[in-house]
Amino acid sequence: MVLEALLGNPRAVLSSVQIAALLAATGLLLYPVVTHAENVAYTEGLVGLAVALLLLTVSNCVGLLIDAGFVSFLDSSVFVRSVVNLGASVSATVGIYYFARQFIDTSRDEVAPRETGHEGGFEDADDD
């Protein structure tokens, strides 16, 4: 029954391929963290990104099930998918923060200009 619904709708086939790719990417991100956690740098960042990919997978699965009519109590998948996508965005942001946190300096109140070794710029360009 599920296979018939998938094959009858090209959009559902594309969604299924996307879900499979997201699951593969999630697995590839989590595999080194689970099997070799002591050798992996930024494990928190990788887990955050993997959770984001997993939430995107859930969003696509829920949307596919709602659009195919398997979840009858919901007429539209927009709200559910938006909430799950928001969770994925927050998780990805947290994961990226764990990658970038050592490069972020919040102790200064102002941004200092970076000194470069050359002069010039747009105002010095030749107008030929």
Residue range 87-125, pLDDT digits in tens: 999 999 999 999 888 877 777 777 666 666 666 666 565
Residue 84 lies in a domain: yes
The DSSP letter of residue 122 is G
Residue 120 lies in a domain: no
Residue 65 lies in a domain: yes
Mean pLDDT of 16-28: 93
Residue range 61-75, pLDDT digits in tens: 888 888 777 777 776
48 has a pLDDT exceeding 80: yes
Of 124 and 28, more confident: 28
Q: Helix (H, G, I), strand (E, B), or coil: what is residue 125?
A: coil
**Three-class SS string for 19-52?**
HHHHHHHHHHHHHHHHHCHHHCCCHHHHHHHHHH
Q: Domain of 84? A: 2-102
128 has a pLDDT exceeding 80: no
- For residue 100, the model assigns a pLDDT of 87
Domain count for the chain, please give it. Answer: 1
Residue 85 lies in a domain: yes
